[in-house]
């Protein structure tokens, strides 16, 4: 296999590594030639991710040779055989998803769909990257920050009073605008399953800003999606 001349390219991100792992699983652990249609196809997908626009101008960026080497790195993590210069990201993604091929496929499909949805659009900054990777986290954040979605949830809860669905915080003594400022919309549907469907009230939970930040942080630490009941058991004192 030819040596990659991609020195100076950005490190592989989590979602890029998930896409490579998905292909590795599809190929049943075999690493084909960089000239294969599968490797070339993944190279094209990686080069189309929206946050490497400058790097993707270089022909060495995520070229088929580089994709082939990444697949060999994943094979080394999976089998202990082959190249030894694997990254921490390779090991981490394998530890989390190596035995969950169906979930890897769902996430990979969602990432590919997300690339089409985003196009050349500017994504919001991601402070805490969820297990599904940067692109899907950015799309998730964009949905949660959508003022129409948040107002739909607030209007629905207004009559019964605003209350955090994790810690039960409520401040009815405050004027309405201050109460509204305390609460945020949290999407209950896992990122890889949400797609770009229209958000429904059943997809949302009303959380105080603190609990919203904590549940996102907990999902980062646990490296998986987390429901309200589990988050409540973790965050609220017993």
DSSP string, 106-144: HHHHHHHHHHHHHTTPPPPP-SS--TT-HHHHHHHHHHH
Q: What is the pLDDT along the chain (238 residues), one digit of tens a residue?
A: 333 444 568 899 999 999 999 999 999 999 999 999 999 999 999 998 888 878 888 999 999 999 999 999 999 999 988 767 789 999 999 999 999 999 999 999 999 988 887 766 666 677 778 888 888 888 888 888 888 999 999 999 999 999 999 999 999 999 999 999 999 999 998 877 766 567 889 999 999 999 999 999 999 888 888 999 999 999 998 7
Contacts 24+ apart (CB under 8 A), 201-205: 201/152, 201/153, 201/156, 204/149, 204/152, 204/153, 205/165, 205/166
Cα–Cα separations (whole angstroms), residue 202 to 27, 29, 189, 198, 205: 38, 40, 9, 11, 8
The pLDDT, as a whole number, for residue 130 is 85
Verify that 40 and 112 share a domain, yes or no: yes
Verify that 231 and 144 share a domain, yes or no: yes
The pLDDT, as a whole number, for residue 8 is 67
The pLDDT, as a whole number, for residue 145 is 82
The pLDDT, as a whole number, for residue 196 is 59
Q: Is residue 95 part of a domain?
A: yes
The pLDDT, as a whole number, for residue 117 is 76
Q: Is residue 2 part of a domain?
A: no
Q: Which of 89, 118, 147 delimits the end of a domain?
A: 118
The pLDDT, as a whole number, for residue 2 is 36
Verify that 95 and 152 share a domain, yes or no: no
The pLDDT, as a whole number, for residue 122 is 64
Q: Is residue 86 part of a domain?
A: yes
Question: Which residues form the domain of 110?
Answer: 14-118
Q: Can you tell me the distance from the alpha carbon of 51 to that of 56, in angstroms, rounded to the nearest whole number?
A: 9
What pLDDT digit, counting tens, does each position of 108-152 carry?
A: 999 998 888 776 666 667 777 888 888 888 888 888 888 899 999
Q: Is residue 206 part of a domain?
A: yes
């Amino acid at each position: 296999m030819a040596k990659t001349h991609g020195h100076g390219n950005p490190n592989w991100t989590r979602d890029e590594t998930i896409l490579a792992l998905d292909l590795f699983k599809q190929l049943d652990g075999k690493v084909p030639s960089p000239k294969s249609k599968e490797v070339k196809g993944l190279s094209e997908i990686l080069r189309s991710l929206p946050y490497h626009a400058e790097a993707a101008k270089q022909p060495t960026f995520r070229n088929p040779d580089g994709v082939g080497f990444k697949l060999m790195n994943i094979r080394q993590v999976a089998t202990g055989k082959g190249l030894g210069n694997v990254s921490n990201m390779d090991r981490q993604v394998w530890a989390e998803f190596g035995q969950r091929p169906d979930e890897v496929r769902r996430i990979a499909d969602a990432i590919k769909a997300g690339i089409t949805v985003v196009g050349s659009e500017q994504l919001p900054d991601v402070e805490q990257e969820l297990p599904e990777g940067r692109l899907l986290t950015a799309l998730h954040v964009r949905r949660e920050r959508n003022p129409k979605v948040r107002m739909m949830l607030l209007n629905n809860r207004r009559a019964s009073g605003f209350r955090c669905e994790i810690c039960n915080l409520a401040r009815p003594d405050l004027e309405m605008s201050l109460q509204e400022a305390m609460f945020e919309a949290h999407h209950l549907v896992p990122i890889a399953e949400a797609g770009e469907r229209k958000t429904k009230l059943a997809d949302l939970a009303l959380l105080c800003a603190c609990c919203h930040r904590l549940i996102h942080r907990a999902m980062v630490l646990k490296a998986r999606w987390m429901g309200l009941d589990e988050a409540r058991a973790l965050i609220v004192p017993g």
